[in-house]
Chains A and B, each alone.
Chain A
Amino acid sequence: MDALVVFVPLLPFIAAVIIGMGQLSGLLNGEASEGKTAIIATWAISMSCLLALVLLTADLTQENTGSLQIGQWLSSDSLNISVNFITTGFNVVLAALFSILLLIIMRFSTNYMHREAGFHRFFFILSLFASAMFLLVLSGNAVGTFFGWEIAGLCSYLLITYAYNRPVASINATRVFVTNRIGDAGFILGIGFTYSWADSINWNDLNALSEQLSSNEATGISLCFTIASLAKSAQLPFTPWLARAMEGPTPSSAIFYGAIMIHAGVYLVCLLEPIFEQAPLAMSILIASGALTALYSFIVGLTQTDVKSSLVFATSGQIGLMFLECGLGFWDLGRWHLCAHAIVRSYLFLTAPSLMHQVMDNPIKPVTPAIAKFHWLYMASLQRFWLDQITDWTLVRPIRRLAHDLNYFDDHFIDPFMGAPAPAIKTISSLAQLEERIIGARLDNNADQFAQSSGLAGKLTELLASLVHWFEDRFVLRGIGKDAIHLGRKLGQGANKFEQLILRPRYLVLFVLITLLLAF
């Protein structure tokens, strides 16, 4: 029964390819072919769902061997990355659960997205996402999981920019993707450490080795994957991206941020249970981040008036609790919580539009009494604890300014310094040069000077002479003239400016960072 696992991610992928090609070639376009697109996508996901259920049954009746390897994806020296799957336990349960939810949401979207401009695009992205998600939970090695991880993130980007005409949507999407990219960097770093310390990137091998890893190594690996999980599951300090992600159509919000993708972080942590058990530091970070996020989401959730944003903060709060449970060592509770939450939240998200329809948009809610008495807390809750602004202030803006400074430096210092001699290639560029040529004078030409020379020694002498002449002319003859003062002042101003620039926090941080990198 193991072999079935291959088709679970493959079928939606094929559906995505067909829809994508159809759209690109113009075959699937407009309202007329909406039915075709929907049928292709729904069939693929139905078959995947069926296969996932068969796989689950087989696992429960213990007919699965637990893993399946179907070939090699990449090999370089001792780094061998194969295409392998885990066909037992929690992974299969999740695949089956997600496939059912995906099927429901896919069917829901067929009606919901009817006559939307990007109908085909939506189903292309949704199928691709389904495939990525199955790969994420079923893959037997870190790179396969990352494959799904990153493609799912990409689909989330594409769905947030679904209405790309709205500037806000695309700004938010970019912000979300770049934030997630930090988590992805953590993931890749984790893969790298896993390879260099455990010599294998298969999850099973890594978990089996957990006892042999030193405490530092286990902490290093689990910290990297913690960053990845926290970013993907929108835990503090990454939480603000989640609210920005609500720009997409409702079914996609349900699927990404209610039911499925948001849980990927918890899944990853649960998968690496044996490693985390060896790393108390990572566990305590899970506890801290989970508990803080739950609290944060609760307080901010109190002042939300929009149905989608209140659902979002409820979600991040629940996920915070899951991390808290995992951090405290109640792994099974965390897993059950994940499954239960996925079902409930996708129901809530899917009913949100009709709820809004029933109550005529958003009625204004009175302020929740729990928070009405604390003005400061109320303010903080409304502003979502200024997390976005703080990130802007500490990270985004300094980097932008640094980029700006470097750009200036590149244009005004490096380019002239390295640049080609301008007069040789510009020929006549000013009126003065033209007049100079007409009257035959060479105003700033060495040939007019007194010392003319040939040969190396002669040239050196001439150079020295002109240098001394310049010194004599500018400084000695004119005494402390206008030029010297001017020059001195300019130098002083330049030095001042340089020092001011260097003392800016962004440069201090940059220098500290470089020092750390070199010392590391």
Chain B
Amino acid sequence: MSNSGFPILSLTILFPLLGAILTGVISNIKLAKKIALVIAGLELILTLLVLLLFNASEGDNFQLLEHYPWIPNLNIEFLIGIDGISVLFLPMTALLTLMTIAASWNSIQHLQRFHFALLLFLEGITIGIFSALDTVLFFLFWELTLPPIFFLIGLWGIGPKRRNAGMKYTLFMLFGGVPLLFAFIILAMNHAVDVGGTLPEDLSFNLPVLLKTQLPDDLQAIVFGLLLLGFAVKAPLVPFHTWLPTVTMEGPTQITALLIGLKLGIYGILRFTMPLAPSAAVEYSWVLGILGAITLIYGALIALQQTNFRRLLAYASISHVGLVIIGIASLTMQGIQGAIFQLFNFTLVSSSLMLIAGFIQHRLGSTESIHLGGLANVMPKLTSFYFLFALASIGVPGTSGFPAELLLVIGALTAHHSLGISALAGAVLSAAYMLSFSRRAFFGPITQAAINQTQDLRPRELALICAPALLILIVGFFPNTILKTNQIAAEAWLSHLLNQPAVRNNEIAGLFSP
């Protein structure tokens, strides 16, 4: 572990938070919007700088560590750092936020400063989630995402039940938070028992330390279950997914793009659930695999039935999560690397598609397929981009979806043939739902008079959608750029799970009666 001199990670967390305050207090609305955009742009540069400073050949170690005491009585620290698994999420978050701000430039009509301030606030908090290495700090950031999202959905939603949707989202996430906290406390207490110390002096919430702490098998199962439950709500895995369709239908499209783009739940599973309970993770990886397969097929089948583009994207996104979970559950190098790759791909694809849905919604007031039809006639550019993203979502070669899908399928096949076959069935279904919606919305004759007067992509929209499109193509042709950053980290991650020392089993009694 290496300490860097300049606290760049803290800066990437604090900079958007300060920017949020600045955006919120400036009275000139136009100026505030511009400042928000500039801050998001600078933040993207900052995160790219982090990516540059990151040393991929030592990706198994946490780097750019920063360490300050926070609540010394309980050994809770402000500990942040990144490794090969988390480093890519930082620039992705910054890019998504920048795109979101650009997309909501004209579509937000009231309380504009508050809106942009909340977006920046959310960005800072999210980057905090990806870099926090102290479980309590992580939990703090995790729960802090709720207020901005609650307001963003409730205040600027486009559906009539937006308040309801905001509340539903918040309640679901609060429910998911409880098992997480519980698991973190069990882990901290186990550490005290493991070193034979006393409470509360020997509690530890430090992730690198906890990773080295032995955890008895029976506790492992409990911790694994709790953490999985907590993150499954956010991911979302079936049956905890019902908040997502509601939010996509009621919430503003650009916020939904951000929500389905940031795969926080899966990050949590990768970072906490699996490594903190390694032997349970290996033992119960089949549960995870089956959950993933069910989520994949279930989401894809329901997506086949959707008539609304936004709802379709919600279920497609659920199906994607299932695919990634299958990769993680395979416990092979290809599976893990494919999962991280696929996260990168889906982040770009689902959020860009959601933004495109937003463009359509903004022009026509609906994304229901009955109100669309023949869009390709009047919006050839939008259609081209839509197709590029749809193809990446299907996994056509040349886009970033293909290497990801290939790795996932190979990983899943090596782990268990059924998992690989389910993944392939999902791939066939994804082509079916994506293309049959394209047919209804983009092809065919124009049936609605309003469509004839719609404009194609404006320069602002074109610019913001070009960035992910280029990334998808570049990464599709040169997948090693992504794979190199996480190769060492994935190897270490996997060997941590598979080569663990023998675990002592008689510690459970000691934990609750010291």
Contact = CB atoms under 8 A, between A and B. Distances in A.
A178 B432 CA distance: 6
A496 to B, nearest CB: 25
Given A146-B397, A181-B428, 10 more contacts: A76-B334, A76-B407, A77-B491, A161-B443, A170-B444, A174-B438, A192-B410, A404-B305, A421-B171, A517-B422
A403 interface: yes
A370 B407 CA distance: 53
A410 B314 CA distance: 13
B480 interface: yes
Contact of A188 (B298, B304, B406, B431): B406
Q: Which of A72, A164, A177 has the most CB of B within 10 A?
A: A164
B239 A426 contact: no
A193 interface: yes
A154 B391 contact: yes
Given A165-B374, A400-B304, A188 B424 contact: yes
A185 B428 contact: yes
A164 B376 contact: yes
Interface string A412-424: 0011011111001
B397 A151 contact: yes
Contacts of B424: 185, 188-189
B476 to A, nearest CB: 10
Interface string B369-402: 0000010110001001000000100001110001
Interface string B307-332: 00000000000000000000000001
A419 B168 contact: yes
Interface in A491-520: 517-518, 520
A177 B242 CA distance: 31
B337 interface: yes
A193 B480 CA distance: 23
B116 interface: no
Interface string A158-178: 000100111101110110011
Contact of B302 (A165, A403, A419): A403
* Size category of the binding interface on chain A: 35 or more
A74 B421 contact: no
Contact of A167 (B391, B414, B418, B443): B443
B403 A74 contact: yes
Q: Which of B302, B421, B438, B483 has the most CB of A within 10 A?
A: B302
A147 interface: yes
Contacts of A151: 396-398
A389 interface: no
B435 A178 contact: yes
Contacts of B338: 76
Given A189-B413, A418-B242, A164 B432 contact: no
A181 B398 contact: no
Interface of A: 24, 72-79, 143, 146-147, 150-151, 154, 157, 161, 164-167, 169-171, 173-174, 177-178, 181-182, 184-185, 188-189, 191-193, 195-196, 399-400, 402-404, 406-407, 410, 414-415, 417-421, 424-426, 517-518, 520
B463 to A, nearest CB: 13
Interface in B162-206: 163-164, 167-168, 171-172
Given A73-B480, A178-B428, A415-B242, A196 B413 contact: yes
Given A72-B480, A181-B431, A407 B333 contact: no
Contacts of B168: 419-420, 425
Contacts of B445: 165-167
A191 B406 contact: yes
Contact of A165 (B304, B377, B432): B377
A418 B240 contact: yes
Nearest to A427: B163
Contacts of B302: 403, 406-407, 410
B404 to A, nearest CB: 10
Contacts of A196: 410, 413-414
B420 interface: yes
19 contacts: A79-B410, A150-B397, A165-B444, A169-B443, A171-B439, A173-B439, A174-B435, A174-B436, A174-B438, A181-B431, A185-B428, A188-B405, A403-B305, A406-B302, A406-B305, A418-B172, A418-B239, A425-B164, A517-B422
